[in-house]
Amino acid sequence: MLSPLDETLLHQVAETFDNTPVSDHRFFDRTWIGMHSPDGALAVMSSFGVYKNNNVMDGYLCIQENAERQYNHRFSRRLRPNIDGMSLGPLSVEILEPFKRLRLRLKPGNYAGSCDIEWVAALPPHEEPKHRTSTNGRVVTDHIRFDQLANCSGWIEIDGRRTEFENWFGARDHSWGVRPGVGGFETTNDDPGAEGGLMAVYCWWLTEEAGGLLQLQEDGQGNRRYLDGFISYRGVPEKSGLQVVDIKHDFEIIPGTRLFQRGRIVATTADGQRFEIEAENVGRPWLYKGSGYDNGYNDEKGLGVWRGDWLEEYDVYDISDVEACVLPDGRVIRPRHREQLAKVTVNGKPGFAHLPFISMGHVERYPFRP
């Protein structure tokens, strides 16, 4: 099927833009945007995903308020023939200037939230090394991703209560390829418990002077499995994209949980600079099930699943407990995929961060709950 993109000279394979040469049902193209107020009392995250082999575009916008409620707005539609842009009924992202300015909108409707937010880049995007893993010959992950930090301004409304704001911390990523956990099912060719414990620390951070992204994965014994990161000084091109070559961490775990209250991260760049990040948890960690991740949506089949021409879902989660969450049907869950909001100081300079701290299984370093 031809689309306006096929008028360009940007083709990379012998296919029209609505197709992919990758036959894996998990092939995706997804962007994520997040932001929060300085005190963490109000936060927004949103995402759009395309799954060409499933003929699906889905997405969400979640609003967190006063560390008490998470308002979820989920959408899914038939992808073809409308493959251009990012729009799901009332939810849209408009690229005003590539890599510089975005506009995120959720129009008012028969649901709790709405917003109109301009996302303005604070630093150039960072292209991560390609992610590729396999298990016993099967490709598990094969995707690329870029990340970018920003300041955000606009308004957010919940049940008629409008908050206008300027220059909140914001971050985004955009990834495409193959990844597990999408499209409704996942095959396996190994014992799912064979790898033991896992801990991952990701930190998008920004101060008035600089910003960066740190990524670290370790197994349950503390052996490093993955490290990547960059640090850039704002407005100083010659100090842009400094490569991070080492990350050390020490977190204070909230007793009886898998979440941190405070943490210290020390990142070293290839030119020998040290960046000491002191972080403090604010607000509540995002409960990603409300977005569609982690077997989300009412059918609990997760992201990228064919749900017909159009689907919209709205609900509210009780997140007032530090870790346990109450779903609309009364179930109480303690999910391990939580992504925390934080305020930070970096080498003494104040700032903010999106700081996922995720663990699975036994991790010798920290006293996590079972």
Contact present, 152 and 33 (Cβ < 8 Å): no
Determine if the pTM surpasses 0.85.
yes
Contact present, 342 and 351 (Cβ < 8 Å): no
Contact present, 254 and 261 (Cβ < 8 Å): yes
With bands split at pLDDT 50, 70 and 90, how would you rate the model's confidence at 84?
A: confident
Measured CA to CA, the distance from residue 20 to residue 22 in angstroms comes to 5
With bands split at pLDDT 50, 70 and 90, how would you rate the model's confidence at 188?
A: confident
Element (H, E) at 95: strand 91-97
Residue 330: pLDDT above 60?
yes
With bands split at pLDDT 50, 70 and 90, how would you rate the model's confidence at 133?
A: confident
What architecture is domain 4-360?
Beta Barrel (2.40)
Residue 193: pLDDT above 60?
no
Measured CA to CA, the distance from residue 180 to residue 359 in angstroms comes to 17
Contacts of residue 149, defined as CB under 8 A and 6 or more positions apart, other chains included, come to: 121, 122, 123, 169, 170, 171, 204, 205, 206, 211, 212, 213
